[in-house]
Amino acid sequence: MFDGTFDGFLSAVFEAYTRRPMPSEIVEADNQQHFGVCYETVKTDPVKAGRVRRGIRSQMGNEAYDNAWKCFLSEHPERGNFLYRYLRLGFQIQRQLVRSLTDERVMTVNKLAALVSREAGHLLQFIRLGETETGVYYAEITPTYPILPLVMPHFAHRLNMQAFVIYDKTHEQAGLYNGHEWMLTDAATPHRPAYTESEQQYRRLWKTFYDAVAITERINPKLRQNFMPKKYWRNMVEMTESPPPRQPLLSEKKNSPL
Amino acid sequence: MDVFQKLEILTDAAKYDAACTSSGSDRSPVAGKLGGTCAAGICHSFSADGRCISLLKVLQTNVCMYDCQYCVNRRSNDVPRASFTPRELADLTIGMYRRNYIEGLFVSSGVSGTPDHAMEQMLQTVRILRQEYGFRGYIHAKAIPGCSPEALEALGMLVDRMSVNIELPSEQGLKTFAPAKTKQNILAPMRQIRDGITQSQEELTLYRHAPRFVPAGQATQMIIGATPDTDRQILRLTDGLYRQYGLKRVFFSAYVPIGTNALLPQNVPPPLLREHRLYQCDWLLRQYGFTVDELVDDEHPTLDPFLDPKCAWALRHPEVFPVEINRADKETLLRVPGIGVRSALRILRARRAGRLRPEDLKKIGVVVKRARFFVTCDGRRLPDVPEDPVVVYENLAELSRPELKKAASPIEQLTFFAPPTLPTGEDVMACLTGQL
């Protein structure tokens, strides 16, 4: 049994390889246990975890490590066992692991990793930051998986000197960036300073643009929803903001042949 | 006029431009500067029509002295006019970029005064972004036909992508609907951009820090369905542009009836299905190693609305199939309907770890319901695959039915049943058995 952290899981893998015979499963501490199976609690040890991490990278490659980590982020109740089986196969067949696309153990891990990757990718697209009065930008997200560690580097790089906070409401976790480095912290409800005046202006500008850019003759809600799943809408400016008051100019245009 | 009104007018005026990709440029961020680009591009939103919004796509101005009949901004059209000052547009871009609304700016312009004046306005906007704000995000700018080489050169050094719209697929169409534009003054800037890119790449091999001219390459777009050009003409032109002008992308834009000229189609829905089929061909040309003559020829100058072009090709070439999954090379795998670039690579990869059985194909991401007619695994065909070509055709056509429904508006669907496009049972037989 491990404590629910990735390092904890890797420590458990380390311990498993020191036992003979090897344990049959690795589960999370608060998970349901099988009757008649004897469990042992493993203490998280960064040194042991580090050795397993390096072992995975050098024997199976970085891609296998990334997949394993992303699969872990899926928080699937069986993730410990899925990964344990995956890594045991990996320590046997090494670099063939990432090529064994038809192996059940590999497929399970890849599938969960893909779900996590996809969500992280979606958030790179759909996170909307707002400028607060302290100058720090703020965004709220409600993802299914705790993908903050996957999206923080992207925004930290890109926004560079611009400090920001991304708050994951689902997992009560905040990603902080101060303009130099980023970190994660657990936070129940972070204190968000008020938005600036120009923030409201920009939200409305963006909504104006969003509505104007659609071609009426091509309206296709299904296509839009395919690309932009509804679950992200509630945190997106263009899907929540009501359109700015209509200008007389608009009605004029409505009557034109357009 | 406030900035809201300007934004609304100038977005409305720019929305018929198809291209909105932010791909092709990979510029990692630099300490102290805002932004970066990534090669695959990022779409930040999707508008109600389902098209991606990646860049702030607006015109610098929609004041235009030209009177191109297919264009919403033509001089004779009675629409409100507006212009952004370079400062306004640059500030808007930065503000939206900081909020992760957009990947960058896509600026085009109507021609107010001379083409060079329009270019100058865009250049000023881009200069503020790049030089004053140190903005490293994506910028796509349109080159105005008829501008001076110097103006083009200056803009090209600052942006990621440039495009010159070829507008209509034939010279005849241009003469009729856009008398102010000629093939010559559209192709001249295209050539200059091509040569600039080539030269810049040569310099880059010599000096790592040589300035980069239009690093994400050149694109263009043409309007589909405003003129009577056939799919074959359109695809040949497209292919020519890729080969001779080194273009990265050619975009097709289904004509939305906004013109009043009697020669233009009136009151018809945009030909979305045709646009979709042309894009399918475009990908086959760029990523799958197909040539134009394989997709459309004298016998089949228009694409089959019932069948995607790859299936259509496969049915015309039974001699190529079945393809052996465990032995075929990448080029051959790519020709199989139901196998895309990704699944082809996955097949190659999985083959190194063991032989593939029929039941493995689905696990690997092959679209088995399409591919099953065309492959074998270790010499074995997949179970329950019909051999009769007519049945295969019907099966495949059935698969693209949702596609037809999705892409075609009701009126367009009706026109399928008009005699010229509907293949009768006999046609199908002739086209299939004739070559079997």
Helix B86-98 with B115-127: angle, nearest 10 deg: 40
pLDDT at A218 over 80: yes
Report the distance separating Cα A164 and Cα B364, nearest Å: 40
Strands (E), chain A: 130-131, 137-141, 164-168, 173-177, 182-186
Report the distance separating Cα A26 and Cα A135, nearest Å: 46
Average pLDDT rounded to a whole number, residues A168-194: 88
**A residues 153-192 lying closer than 8 A (beta carbon) to B:** 155, 157-162
Q: What residue spans define the domains of chain B?
A: 3-266, 309-433
Whether omega for the bond prior to residue A21 falls within 30 degrees of 0, making it cis, is yes
CA angle B189, B190, B192 (to 5 degrees): 60
Kindly report the nearest CA distance between residue B36 and chain A, in angstroms. 6
- Put residue A118 in one of left, alpha, beta given phi > 0 → left and psi -120 to 50 → alpha: alpha
Q: What percent of chain B has pLDDT over 70?
A: 92
CA angle A236, A239, A244 (to 5 degrees): 110
Q: Do B270 and A218 touch (CB under 8 A)?
A: yes
Parallel, antiparallel or unpaired: strands A137-141 and B380-381: unpaired
Mutate to test the interface with A, among B23, B25, B49, B76 (most CBs of A within 10 A): B49
Q: Which of B11, B49, B99 sits opposite A130 (nearest CB)?
A: B99
Give me the amino acid identity at B217. G
Report the distance separating Cα A142 and Cα A146, nearest Å: 9
Residue of A nearest to B271 (CA): A218
Q: Which of B53, B352, B363 sits opposite A102 (nearest CB)?
A: B363
Q: Residue A177 in 3-state DSSP?
A: strand
- pTM of the full structure: 0.88
> Residues with Cβ < 8 Å from B150, sequence gap 6 or more?
none
Report the distance separating Cα B380 and Cα B377, nearest Å: 5
From B84-98, B114-128, B263-277, B281-295, the region with the lowest mean pLDDT:
B263-277
Q: Do B15 and A131 touch (CB under 8 A)?
A: no
pLDDT in tens, B188-203: 999 999 999 999 999 9
Report the distance separating Cα A169 and Cα A188, nearest Å: 8
Kindly report the nearest CA distance between residue B47 and chain A, in angstroms. 5
A137 part of contact set with chain B, CB < 8 Å: yes
CB B340 within 8 A of CB B362: no
Average pLDDT rounded to a whole number, residues B8-25: 86
Kindly report the nearest CA distance between residue A84 and chain B, in angstroms. 21
Q: Do B15 and A215 touch (CB under 8 A)?
A: yes
pLDDT, residue B159, reads 95
**Banded model confidence at residue A252, pLDDT cuts 50, 70, 90:** very low
**Banded model confidence at residue B416, pLDDT cuts 50, 70, 90:** very low
Report the distance separating Cα B232 and Cα B258, nearest Å: 25
Q: Which of A96, A209, A237 sits opposite B7 (nearest CB)?
A: A209
Residue of B nearest to A129 (CA): B99
Q: Do A215 and B272 touch (CB under 8 A)?
A: no
pLDDT at B415 over 80: no
Q: Do B7 and A228 touch (CB under 8 A)?
A: no
Torsion of CA B110, B114, B120, B121, to 10 degrees: -40
pLDDT in tens, B20-74: 788 878 888 787 788 888 888 899 999 999 999 999 999 999 999 999 888 999 9
pLDDT, residue B420, reads 36
Higher pLDDT, B261 or B162: B162
H helix or E strand, kind and range, residue B380? strand B380-381
Q: How far is CA B181 from CA A194, B154, B185, B260, in A?
A: 52, 23, 7, 19
pLDDT, residue B407, reads 54
What is the CATH code for B3-266?
Answer: 3.20.20.70
Average pLDDT, chain A: 89
CB B10 within 8 A of CB A212: no
Residue B110 DSSP symbol: -
pLDDT in tens, B79-96: 999 999 999 999 999 999
Parallel, antiparallel or unpaired: strands A173-177 and A164-168: antiparallel
**Banded model confidence at residue B406, pLDDT cuts 50, 70, 90:** low
Model ipTM? 0.89
pLDDT in tens, A80-108: 999 999 999 999 999 999 999 999 999 99
Q: Do A99 and B5 touch (CB under 8 A)?
A: no
pLDDT, residue B269, reads 85
pLDDT, residue B428, reads 41
pLDDT, residue A177, reads 94
pLDDT, residue B409, reads 47
> Residues with Cβ < 8 Å from B34, sequence gap 6 or more?
A158, A159, A160, A161, A162, B94, B97, B98, B133, B134, B135, B136, B137
Kindly report the nearest CA distance between residue B257 and chain A, in angstroms. 9
Q: How far is CA A210 from CA A199, A228, A233, B7, B10, in A?
A: 16, 14, 14, 10, 12
From A148-152, A191-195, B132-136, the region with the lowest mean pLDDT:
A191-195
Q: How far is CA A20 from CA A14, A186, A199, B19, B363, in A?
A: 13, 38, 62, 61, 35
Q: Which residues of A35-73 are buried (b: 16+ CB within 10 A; e: fewer)?
A: eeeeeeebebbeebbeebbebbeebbbeebbbbbbbbbb
pLDDT, residue B425, reads 42
pLDDT at B288 over 80: yes
pLDDT, residue B405, reads 63
From the CB of residue B378, how many other CB atoms can be counted at a distance below 10 Å? 12
**A residues 66-125 lying closer than 8 A (beta carbon) to B:** 93, 96, 98-102, 107, 124-125
CB B400 within 8 A of CB B277: no
In B288-366, which ranges are continuous DSSP H helix?
Answer: 292-295, 309-316, 330-334, 341-351, 360-364
Residue of A nearest to B354 (CA): A100
CA angle B113, B119, B124 (to 5 degrees): 115
**B residues 348-367 lying closer than 8 A (beta carbon) to A:** 349-350, 352-354, 356, 360, 363-364
Residues of chain B found within 8 Å of residue A208, distances taken between Cβ atoms? 4, 7-8, 11
Q: Which of B50, B92, B360 sits opposite A220 (nearest CB)?
A: B50
Residues of chain B found within 8 Å of residue A209, distances taken between Cβ atoms? 7-8, 11, 56, 58
Which tokens belong to B44?
């930040």
Q: What percent of chain B has pLDDT over 90?
A: 61
| Interface contacts (A, B; CB < 8 Å) | 179
Helix B425-433 with B309-316: angle, nearest 10 deg: 60
Q: Do A258 and B72 touch (CB under 8 A)?
A: yes
Residues of chain A found within 8 Å of residue B405, distances taken between Cβ atoms? none
CB A187 within 8 A of CB A173: yes
CA angle B66, B69, B74 (to 5 degrees): 40
pLDDT, residue B179, reads 87
B269 part of contact set with chain A, CB < 8 Å: yes
Residues of chain B found within 8 Å of residue A106, distances taken between Cβ atoms? none
10 Å CB burial of residue A180 (0-12, 13-18, 19+) is exposed
pLDDT in tens, A42-93: 899 999 999 999 999 999 999 999 999 999 999 999 999 999 999 999 999 9
pLDDT, residue B403, reads 66
**Banded model confidence at residue B312, pLDDT cuts 50, 70, 90:** very high
Report the distance separating Cα B292 and Cα B239, nearest Å: 7
**Banded model confidence at residue B404, pLDDT cuts 50, 70, 90:** low
10 Å CB burial of residue A190 (0-12, 13-18, 19+) is middle
Q: Do A208 and B8 touch (CB under 8 A)?
A: yes
